[in-house]
Structure 1
């Protein structure tokens, strides 16, 4: 074939639907002969493009049609090559499995830098593989790296580049040992073989290469060959034939890496300019493909002007945009991504009102795509997101990650319950699932509070303790037997994670076995289950390629290895709506296109830095700059604007702060001005659709149930709550609401107080000696082994508080007081009515009761927090001591004979700089303001009045009735919605 053959190169304008125009043009070219198309070969940029063109042929065909052979050029394989060239023989080695290559490169990096963890090493390995592929695709001989001058590189780049050179040098030997080749280099070789074969022996029939807006050197060589075949043609998408010649010539493709080259790479036409230069075709030689454009070519010209090189933007002033240029195009700005997604969903829903109309969201923002898909479900629309869902976001993938996280955390409560509550676990039947959930929810309650000891054994101990102290009124089911069965399922994985290091293959095998034990075959069902099975099989097969890893790295490593697996529906969803990424949108054209996420850093995305090839090295090797991706994003933006109707959207801010509008957005609006209308209707609709109207502040709650429903039993502490904050008493006692401790919580001041109470109780029971105190302290400390915070910070404070308590007890002993009882429980019945038909039972527990040599009693209450103030005691809002005194005088406290109470004392055992303090609640500024007997009598009268009004009467349980005496942060303040009415007048008593 003569090199002088005139090339056949065409372009389809962006205002035409590329796939449909190409299909119709090829059908017309066949002239009604079905065999012409059947013998044709069409090379397209991707497999998605193959599907798009297939659909276009179906739409364009009047009846039956024999489709041509279509091959994806971007991911060509031997089978594809054999389809293109009959009888082709090649000795190329098979490509290395992508997973194995990632793990082999990760191992190399781990050995290069021992301090790098497995996850970071895997990330660097992926970028190292991308650098390999860049060199291969651009046809750069690795030997050239030796000749690159490195004098101007920083020291860290020198070290990194030295390792890169070493890997490049030894990588072929590693591949040879594996009996494989690199996929990118192998693809280049296949393209070269095909180009050489067709150069020597042109294939019979029509050969078309279409849809490429850029190409690697090997691809360009093949495309140049196709363009010069006797019956070959190259069809380009969206070549700007109207671009001024000087602007076109300013797009430099051969100046390696200078500023002009970098600016050129960011232009929408750069990829096409480079391709035409590589195949030796002038822009004037490119012909227009015959099309019936769906929108005005004037718009495409205006868009091209908007994105012209910076040096030529002065043209904007010379030729203003004519009215009507942007008919069918509008834009909207939302406050945030959530509002943007809702407006887009409304636009897609509205598009369905037009019979037969199609619409698509085109965006590189995966979060925006997921939000829009979720919003569409409110109208029962299952929209097809072509990018699919990451495996880690599917139920099987999420369970696999949750299980690895639980094992790495030694089955800490939060991580463990995340596994046990997962919908796939124990899901064989509905009855089995419900029974399982009943037990898991009970386990959730049992594990509330401070974390138990590590491992399944620690959970078992907590369950056994909960079974032991179960109250029959709780109707709690025993869990020990069930937990033993669960332990048997999880124990093999626990054994694997106990090792100092893990083998990836063994880890994945153990993980898969445990997943099956928990779910049966449910874990492998559906497209997501099959995707997980395939990835686990690959990791099991190739896990030996990675060195042993730290168990703590396992969850993050698995997350990285699973996250890049997309799960797509087996069949399509809505036939008229779609969500596409930029790659998926190429060559496809619905009636209505929404270009979403037009913010800088999203569209276009900022180029990711290359950690292996410094910018200076890339320039010296003649590699494309990282900015080339911006030019590709610009071309996709221009193509999207060719649809009949277009909506441009962006959010003004996201969670991290204000967003800057995309450079494409800013240029288009700067050129178009008022001719590009804003759509405020969709934003208003999105805001209104979920608007709840002006909020109505809640009134202060004051429930008033009938007297017959009110309790007749209350504790001394509940009496205080009933007096100051009746609603909290109502919620806790009548509604039986119980505040659950957080799971896996840090020890709190309440836990420290409980520990001090237990030590003091055991100490007094054992006789109050120094040895008894030391033993009680050591026994309590032994339970803190799993809590470094308690051991490091609390133990010294508790020790100081106990030393103070011992000294104070000795002082009391010298005054004639002797401990009589600890944790003394008692109750007393108060009768109301003429014949006592309305009794109320008062219960209480005294921390300690002492007796004096003269027979008087002392009530001691331990405090690790604040003690009641003088105002609370004198105002009748600190009832605890007085009511305990009343129980003691009646002789109803266990172990305490009846007798007069002569002393009340709060012992604040904080253990801080002031280790402790004993205070008399009946004394103020050093003087007693009431005697113990008077305080007891007054407290009993207050209690009786409280019972008469609040328990036997119908007085409402008003929230924060006395806010100045109520606790500031009650457990039920949120239920009472205190913040909405606090500060308004308090109802009179």
Structure 2
């Protein structure tokens, strides 16, 4: 190993350039330093940034050894951002004076949420429990930044920026300061400290221990980019040890001094006192800051020697450094030599959409498997893209997991908890209820198929406007339906949840307990199986245990948002294993990893680098004054990750030209490579072509206009179907011959048809129960509007119009009665034989006119058919009803029909309600002569029946489009493929 140094010498600080695989290079170098001593490695200690880096180094040692060896201790420093604890080797249990234990994250979150809620309420701007928990999460992050940067919260009191801050930031700062004042007392009562504080204590104690008693084996701090002061002090201690080495990843030793010095820090402006931000977005900034805090100069850093892993070549390294130069120095690109901007083995692929990008990446991963032993990895911050790529790989039977994990909120146990909370908060409204009952974890196993059969029947029963709220309202709505008995039994499982959510504001712990119990009843043990189930179980246990420390009460409507906030922060990572040659990484997981082919996906602005998350507590100016990291520093770290990944032997970078809603902008990292490389920015034309060709159907063969000619045709038809038969024969064919009936949406808004049915029901009961007594109509309408089953929108928006129209009907009937016109019958039906078929019809009302003839009345809630439509042979329903009446097709009704009227509840010049008619005794206003109307209707129907019902004419789609406005069967007839093509 390294020889001990006598006297004061420069710290032992090294770097491995970006174009060399970090973990492999470090492992081989350490093995060479160990020489022939088989125990030398085992006596060593390697400090690494996180748990994923520990696995990467383990794999690198295995590759370097080609067999078995005794590994050094690999210890993660941990990261508060990832929720990782510091390695056990750095936290000895037998210490003489161990630091107090760290407060549990959920306990901390709930206490801070309560404090935030109390302070906001005292300030006159109260927030609900869900918002308090969300704000507490942001407060935790800001507090951790203060602790990590070792900025005393008391420093907030020394700032005098009130005149420069807006009222919003002043309120936020005041709340933040008060919460921080109260927080130490909460910790003292619990005998706990913050995890970030404990990490600092452990790191400082370790450094002190090593200074007093250096370890006997070697110590290496490798690949650590955390620039926190405590980490910098530990790295300096390691570098000063006689057997210690600090090894950076991708510290640029070739960067010109002028560019290096431009990264800062900078002094305050002498006139304003404002500290100018350093170039935090540069990929070398955080490394420079770490070096400065270590008290080391870049000139003291040496290139790592003694071992080499996969190497993309120094030319690639120079090109990467030039591409990522500070903005003020990019002008040098025009003067660069060709070899200094050549990105050999780096290709770019641009795709039309995220779906196409995912397919292209999957193809590139699949291609890597064609070469024996070749490895490939996708690195992307876009977790949606990662999931899509994994799904595409399944077409070749390749199972590949995203090592960055997936949020618990989108995994089955998490979505079940959210569905339960949403359904209960909405009082089991149809959409929320069906989403819950159809959840894949509900009644899983042998019971699943029988359960789904019943749920599908319930789905059919809930089509249309929403029934009354609650489980009882649903039971009343189902009545004696075939699924009613099943629903009574099944709804008992949800009754405790309904009762709990119906009690209004209450403690969160009680709400979580009933959610957990209901979830267990619905799903059984399957809910808690697997990594996601265990994560959900642990989450609920923590939340239920600590909920009493949080906001005292929560509104039931706030439970689902609160769960959504917390579940989205829990990443469920795959178990060890996975594909041996392929991987998908997030940016943090990719650090120190290597592969023969690296694919950098999602190179769009706002994705890589991502948009900085705003700090709702501290204004940017305050963060500068306190010395906290700028919100843009994460951009520099993401750029460094990009530069490191570009050092792989072969690299493919990808982007999509648009996202789900709009065109995208190429990432600044993509544009830098493109601008620097110029015509040497190679495109992956082959991958782009493969992606387009994979699902290319070749020749496009659009469907022809359908015109089926069935052997068996209907011999019965109603008067309401005549227009559909003539205008869109295919729709008639689909409905009557194929038996395909359109379904109403679940929880639908009241449609025109539904409103018409409601009015017809009122008017029918007005006749059957009250014989059209004038003073009975209005109470019937009010009773319908007051019914709990009536849609709230109908009650709120349609009530004024309906009542005015109902009053108009009553007044009009009374006026007609005064001149000898009386209601003869309402809501009757009948049928006759005609043209070889049976024609049936249902009338809304038939009146006896003063001269003894009949009048047919049809109620319309909207606009009645136009005279033009009637003259062209459509909208002949009134005429055909008149024909049936004249032929004695209605029981007890027969006679000449001399009035054909539409009574519309639509708006007229005098209000709501008017009478329209398609006929006139003398044919005025282009109307049909009254005496001819039934004959014309009869002749038109006979013609239609002879063509499509008793004849052999095909049922052609959209034969007369202007009179076929409904689109229920447009998809079935593939309308968009042929309509208008001729």
Deviation at 1:792, TM superposition (A): 2.8
Deviations 1:149-190 (A, max 9, x none): 325333332332222222222211101112211000010011
- Offset of 1:979 from its aligned partner? 4.5
Bigger Cα displacement from structure 2, 861-870 vs 693-702: 693-702
SS at match of 1:903: strand
Of residues 211, 217, 220, the one that matches 2:229 is 217
How far the C-alpha of 1:118 sits from its partner, in A, is 3.0
Q: What does residue 124 of structure 1 align with? A: 135
Partners in 2 of 1:86 and 1:858 — Cα distance? 98
Distance 1:962-1:122 versus aligned 2 partners, 3 A rule:
same
Aligned mate of 1:758, from 758, 761, 786: 761
Say which SS state the counterpart of residue 348 (structure 1) adopts: helix
- Answer yes or no: is 1:972 the counterpart of 2:969: yes
Pick aligned residue for 1:704 from 709, 730, 736: 709
Q: Which residue of 525, 548, 552 maps to 1:544? A: 548
1:726 maps to: 729
- The CA distance in 2 between the partners of 1:511 and 1:29, in whole Å, is 58
Match status 1:858 vs 2:870: no
1:436-482: CA deviation from partner (whole Å, max 9, x where unpaired): 111111111111111111111111111116x2xxxxxxxxxx12211
Matched residue, 1:940: 938
1:355-395 CA-partner distances (Å, limit 9, x unpaired): 11111111112222122222222222211211111111111
Q: Which residue of 2 aligns with 1:585?
A: 590
Instruction: Give the unaligned 5+ runs of structure 2.
Output: none
Equivalents in 2 of 1:237, 1:692: separation in Å? Answer: 47
Mapping of residues 37-186 of structure 1, within 5 Å: 37-75=41-79, 80=87, 82=89, 87-114=94-121, 115-151=126-162, 152-186=164-198
Match of 2:257 among 241, 245, 264: 245
Aligned match of 2:746: 743
How many residue pairs match? The answer is 961
C-alpha distance in 2 between matches for 1:27 and 1:213 = 24
Corresponding residue for residue 664 of structure 2: 659
Instruction: State the partner residue of 1:621.
Output: 626
Write the distance in 2 (CA, Å) between the matches of 1:86 and 1:857: 101
In the alignment, structure 1 residue 411 sits paired with structure 2 residue 428: yes
Q: Deviations over 1:397-447 (max 9, x none)?
A: 111111111111110000000011112112230xx2222111111111111
Distance 1:961 1:270, change over 3 A: closer
Secondary structure of 2:479's match? helix
Aligned partners of 1:253 and 1:273 also within 8 Å: no
Counterpart among 470, 474, 495 of residue 459 in structure 1: 474
1:910 is aligned to 2:895: no
Q: How does 1:570-581 map to 2 (within 5 A)?
A: 570-581=575-586
**Cα distance in 1 for residues equivalent to 2:784 and 2:632:** 64
Compared CA separation, residues 927 and 630, structure 1 to 2 (3 A): closer
Q: Is the 8 A contact 1:864 1:909 kept in 2?
A: yes
Deviation at 1:218, TM superposition (A): 0.7
Give the Cα–Cα distance (whole angstroms) in 2 for the partners of residues 332 and 261 of structure 1.
Answer: 38
- Classify 1:163/1:875 alpha carbon distance in 2 versus 1 (closer, same or farther; 3 Å): closer
The answer to whether residue 335 in structure 2 is matched with residue 318 in structure 1 is yes
The answer to whether the aligner puts 1:363 opposite 2:360 as a matched pair is no
Counterparts of 1:395-544 in structure 2, within 5 Å, are 395-429=412-446, 432-464=447-479, 467=481, 478-544=482-548
1:807 is displaced (CA, Å) by 2.5
Partner SS for 1:653:
coil
1:695 shift after superposition: 4.0
Q: Distance in 2 between matches of 1:660 and 1:774?
A: 61
2:226·2:290 contact (CA, 8 Å) conserved in 1?
Answer: yes
Question: How large is the Cα RMSD of the aligned pairs?
Answer: 2.5
| Cα deviation 1:897-925 (Å, max 9, x = unaligned) | 43332332222222555422223322276
1:339/1:683 contact within 8 Å kept: no
**SS of the residue aligned with 1:262?**
coil
1:779 to 770, 773, 783: 783
> Which residue of the partner structure matches residue 957 of structure 1?
955
Instruction: Evaluate the alpha carbon distance shift between residue 794 and residue 358 of structure 1 in structure 2; reply closer, same or farther with a 3 A threshold.
Output: same
Query: Secondary structure at 2:221's aligned position in 1?
Result: strand
The question of whether the paired residues in 2 share the 8 Å contact of 1:891 and 1:897 is answered with: yes
Q: Distance in 2 between matches of 1:538 and 1:754?
A: 52
Contact 2:34 2:40 in 1 (8 A): yes
Identify the residue that residue 473 of structure 1 maps to in structure 2. Answer: none
Compared CA separation, residues 299 and 462, structure 1 to 2 (3 A): same
Q: For structure 1, which segment, 872-881 or 763-772, has the greater mean C-alpha deviation from structure 2 after superposition?
A: 872-881
CA–CA separation in structure 2 for the residues paired with 1:241 and 1:91: 40
In terms of mean alpha carbon deviation, does 710-719 or 940-949 score higher?
A: 940-949
TM-score by length of 2: 0.93
SS in 1 for 2:41: helix
* Residues 81 and 190 in structure 1, CA contact (< 8 A), matched pair in contact too: no
Structure 1: runs of 5 or more not aligned: 468-477, 833-839
Q: Tell me, in whole angstroms, the C-alpha distance in 2 between the residues paired with 1:735 and 1:309.
A: 69
Map of 1:301 onto structure 2? 318
- The 5 Å alignment of 1:322-337 reads 322=339, 325-337=342-354
- The match for 1:870 is 867
Is the alpha carbon distance of 1:626 and 1:876 closer, same or farther for their aligned partners in structure 2, counting shifts above 3 Å?
closer
Q: Tell me, yes or no, if the aligned pair for 1:333 and 1:340 is still in contact at 8 Å.
A: yes
Task: For residue 910 of structure 1, give the secondary structure of its aligned residue in structure 2.
Answer: strand
- Map Cα deviations across residues 551-590 of structure 1 (whole Å, 9 max, x no partner): 1111111011111112222243221111111111111110
Q: Does structure 1 conserve the Cα–Cα contact (< 8 Å) formed by 2:707 and 2:730?
A: yes
User: In the TM superposition, what is the alpha-carbon distance from 1:82 to its structure 2 partner?
Assistant: 5.0
- 1:716 paired with 2:719, answer yes
The residue number in structure 2 matching 1:277 is 292
Q: Deviations over 1:494-534 (max 9, x none)?
A: 11111221322211111111111111111111111111111
Residue in structure 1 matched with residue 248 of structure 2 by the alignment = 236
Once the two structures are TM-superposed, the CA of residue 730 in structure 1 deviates from its matched residue by 1.1
Deviating more after overlay: 158-167 vs 969-978: 969-978
CA distance in 2, matches of 1:153, 1:242: 42
Counterpart selection for 1:668 from 673, 694, 711? 673
Of 577, 593, 604, which residue of structure 2 is paired with 1:599? Answer: 604
SS of 1:570's equivalent in the other structure is coil
